Structure 1
Amino acid sequence: MATDITDSTHPVEAAAVMRLLPARPRVLALGEPAHREDTLLDLRNELFRQLVEQEGYRSISVESDCMMGLVVDDYVTSGTGTLDAVMEHGFSHEWGTQAGNRELVRWMRAYNDGRPASERLRFAGIDGPLEYWAASPRQALTALHNYLAAWVEPDLLPCTAETLDRLLGSDDRWSNPATVMDPSQSVGRSTEARELRLLADDLVALLDAQTPHLIAATSRHGWERARLYGRTATGLLGYHFWMADASPARVTRMCAQRDSMMAANLLAVIEWGPALVHAHNSHLQRGKSSMRMGDLPLEWWSAGAIVSSHLGEEYAFLATALGTIRRQGVDTPPPDTLEGFLYALPEDRYVVDAGRLAAAFGDASPAHRVSPWFGYASLDPAHLAEIDGIVFIKDVPQT
């Protein structure tokens, strides 16, 4: 197996992470191999605090609904609402029930209290409204239309609010869970949906064309939110279009659409300054994501791969790996696997330079661990060259 690398392991701290990188990245991507583990969220929160206090980071993005994330951002920046309400309405996938996410929001609000707007921390969800199935595009489309209708000449608008409402119809048609497995249940290729896609494109084009006027008349903050509405509306309509597809490319295009939406949201977030993003390893990796549907292998470019292509060395990826999650049946990893090698090192948690690790293994590449639990995605040794650092946690606590 590999040679000794104990001198290359470091505490999971901002200063140690930065020493692994050629320069401070605009996006520091911290991946997680399993969801709903507060141990991972606690580590993320501490790293973010250090990045804010020592490295000048000003925002964090998480794998949650981008529209719901506006509720969190309003609270942490200006105190709008209550913490309980924000945790209930500001996160998708029930992430708001997790103690680690609550602590993140509480700390960000406390940090921002009394600070000028230019120094406040920002929060963003980067996922689309795609929790198990796609939501209606109504919220995003109408918010974009309302913004434009308030600030541009009426003759420039491609449609009225009433036209949008008529074409959208009942939201139940869009959020029908049966569409996940049955493309014939989707409205994504109906006459109304096709017309909505054209109108959404026209509204986004109008927003872009009126940028100088809109920023001056409203604010950069208001204009940025309108751009988010536009990205979400067009992205959702595209996702629904592919949900209605009956070809073998259907799931691949749906997965690719989701990661493309995440990438676009992340590229917008860094306009605020350097950002930490926290999502599943598979969304943040530089290589292609993959899955199998029966005998059919599916591949698409992850959000991380897209953003990395835009930013080059200004994108950095830390992949997290775990030794055990015993309550889920993930026991001590076999010694011939990557996690097994990392588990044998003395520290309980650390970050290691993935390039140094790959060089230490040389041609004796470790085996790919087979996870006994579907909720834990083990780290593929073949991806070491695409990772800047590995955050390793030896044992997730039982409780």
Structure 2
Amino acid sequence: MAIDITGIEESARPADGAAVLDLLAHRPRLLALGEPTHREETLLDLRNEIFRHLVEHAGYRTIALESDCLKGLDVDAYVTSGAGDLDEVVRQGISHEWGDLTGNRELVRWMREFNADRPAADHVRFAGFDGPLEITGAESPRPALTSLHDHLAAHVDAELLPCTRDGLDDLLGDDGRWTEPAAMMDPARSFGRSPEAGQLRLLADDLTALLEGQQPHLLAATSQEAWERACLHARTATGLLRYHSWMADTSPARLPRLLGVRDHMMARNLLALADRGPTLVYAHNSHLQREKSSMRMGGDPLEWWSAGALAHARLGGEYAFVATALGTIRHQGVDTPPADTLEGLLYALPQDRCAVDVRRLHAALSDTRPEPRVSPWFGYAPFPPAHLAGADGLLFLKDMAQGRP
């Protein structure tokens, strides 16, 4: 059915940082900006522009990317102190093979330049909020678990520790048994439910409880920064051990639980960043939406609650989600969207990129709902029209340029 687009253009204005803020009723502690696909420089350029505006005009001081939370510590050290080489820091510190993207390099370069002549209290900060995970597997819990143990061993009485560092090393063993590539497809190849892994989960829980129980002493003996880093290591250690345990599971719950554990780890990191101050979060729409996430893997439908849904459940109005939709990615076979889809309606607007007030868009659509778009390429997820009510705003970009725009 053809949809009359009269009035739809009134819901849209040219997209920039100011337009994004105007979509929101107030400045949330977590402003989540989603993307429908990865590795598109056009999207990263707009993200960088929005973050600069949020920093310069709205008091935001942290950006969190869908990237390894532990590797992100090196990027944060670079932007706050200049430690390391820019290209190496970006290449090694931004995971999922996104360290080679020019938009990510430009983000980190600008952050360092912004901080160079400012006091530490006014620095912009970088964070990864994903676990040390890839779609093909998970890292060893060793770095997170041993860092947590070492922090406690340096500052609390030895008799309070549930184990020694040597005891941890013996249980962890060779990292290769944790990172076995075949374990994602074959639960029998996972080390996650071995007797050693079971003991490590108990020790990680005890170490985390000790960390929390010693908070007054640790804050006095070290610093807020050291405390937050120790908490990050504790969250990561317990989350990774839980993830490895579900990798070894053989029940039908295995894959949805793995997806859910990952987003739960993300959500815990986001909530910690929200405690620090106003933060821009950038990740795939599916990780940030308020609705339940879903996908098909091996032909089976999988559902889980996203990091955004979990963060919203805790933060309420202090969480805002602005999704991104797009028209074409011609270099990936995604051509002009059908006119009866949401993307097709927005593609007819004159702007190359626009910020859409979803409430006014709803009013313009009246009782008519666009058809869901179907992507010919697995790497791009069209925005579901049914999710409009769960978003605080929508960015639309007409065309993705191949390489640099």
Give TM-score, length-normalised by structure 1: 0.98
Corresponding residue for residue 81 of structure 1 = 84
- Deviation readout 1:152-207 (Å, 9 max, x if unpaired): 00000000001100000110000001011000110111100000000000000000
Where does structure 1 differ by over 4 angstroms across 4 or more consecutive aligned residues? none
Of residues 49, 53, 57, the one that matches 1:50 is 53
- Deviation readout 1:276-307 (Å, 9 max, x if unpaired): 00000000000011012345321110000000
How far apart are residue 244 of structure 1 and its match?
0.4
How far apart are residue 11 of structure 1 and its match?
2.3
User: In structure 2, the residue corresponding to 1:393 is in which secondary structure?
Assistant: strand
User: In structure 2, the residue corresponding to 1:74 is in which secondary structure?
Assistant: helix
How far apart are residue 7 of structure 1 and its match?
2.1
How far apart are residue 359 of structure 1 and its match?
2.5
Cα distance in 1 between the residues matched to 2:293 and 2:10: 32
Corresponding residue for residue 126 of structure 2 = 123
1:311 correspondence with 2:307: no
- Deviation readout 1:23-57 (Å, 9 max, x if unpaired): 11111111000100011110000000000000000
Of residues 205, 208, 213, the one that matches 1:204 is 208
Backbone CA RMSD of aligned residues: 1.0
Of residues 185, 194, 205, the one that matches 1:181 is 185
Cα distance in 1 between the residues matched to 2:177 and 2:332: 37
Cα distance in 1 between the residues matched to 2:65 and 2:206: 29
What are the equivalent positions in structure 2 for 1:98-137 lying under 5 Å apart?
98-131=101-134, 132-137=136-141
What are the equivalent positions in structure 2 for 1:135-284 lying under 5 Å apart?
135-284=139-288
Of residues 25, 33, 36, the one that matches 2:36 is 33
Cα distance in 2 between the residues matched to 1:88 and 1:329: 28
User: In structure 1, the residue corresponding to 2:128 is in which secondary structure?
Assistant: strand
Corresponding residue for residue 377 of structure 1 = 381
Cα distance in 2 between the residues matched to 1:294 and 1:68: 31
What are the equivalent positions in structure 2 for 1:324-339 lying under 5 Å apart?
324-339=328-343
For structure 1, list consecutive stretches of 5 or more residues without a partner in the other structure: none
Cα distance in 1 between the residues matched to 2:225 and 2:299: 47
Cα distance in 1 between the residues matched to 2:137 and 2:297: 17
What are the equivalent positions in structure 2 for 1:356-367 lying under 5 Å apart?
356-367=360-371
How far apart are residue 14 of structure 1 and its match?
2.5
Cα distance in 2 between the residues matched to 1:258 and 1:320: 22
For structure 2, list consecutive stretches of 5 or more residues without a partner in the other structure: none
Letter of the 1:347 counterpart: Q
- Deviation readout 1:77-113 (Å, 9 max, x if unpaired): 1111111220122111111100000000000001001
Cα distance in 1 between the residues matched to 2:375 and 2:197: 41
User: In structure 1, the residue corresponding to 2:355 is in which secondary structure?
Assistant: strand
Cα distance in 2 between the residues matched to 1:296 and 1:371: 18
Q: Is the 8 A contact 2:33 2:321 kept in 1?
A: yes
Cα distance in 2 between the residues matched to 1:184 and 1:359: 53
1:354 correspondence with 2:319: no
Cα distance in 1 between the residues matched to 2:385 and 2:8: 16
Cα distance in 2 between the residues matched to 1:297 and 1:311: 29
What are the equivalent positions in structure 2 for 1:281-296 lying under 5 Å apart?
281-296=285-300
Cα distance in 1 between the residues matched to 2:386 and 2:6: 18
Corresponding residue for residue 93 of structure 1 = 96
Cα distance in 2 between the residues matched to 1:278 and 1:362: 31
Structure 1 stretch displaced more, 21-30 or 9-18: 9-18
Corresponding residue for residue 6 of structure 1 = 9
Cα distance in 2 between the residues matched to 1:129 and 1:355: 37
Q: Is the 8 A contact 2:79 2:115 kept in 1?
A: yes
Cα distance in 2 between the residues matched to 1:24 and 1:3: 31
Cα distance in 1 between the residues matched to 2:246 and 2:170: 22
Cα distance in 1 between the residues matched to 2:88 and 2:210: 34
Q: Is the 8 A contact 1:323 1:393 kept in 2?
A: yes
How far apart are residue 271 of structure 1 and its match?
2.1
How far apart are residue 135 of structure 1 and its match?
0.5
Q: Is the 8 A contact 1:267 1:307 kept in 2?
A: yes
Corresponding residue for residue 392 of structure 1 = 396
Corresponding residue for residue 71 of structure 1 = 74
Identity of aligned residues (%): 65
Cα distance in 1 between the residues matched to 2:272 and 2:318: 15
Q: Is the 8 A contact 1:321 1:391 kept in 2?
A: yes
Task: Work out the number of aligned pairs and report it.
Answer: 399
Cα distance in 2 between the residues matched to 1:320 and 1:306: 20
- Deviation readout 1:119-151 (Å, 9 max, x if unpaired): 001100000000231110000000000000000
Cα distance in 2 between the residues matched to 1:50 and 1:167: 48
Q: Is the 8 A contact 2:8 2:365 kept in 1?
A: no
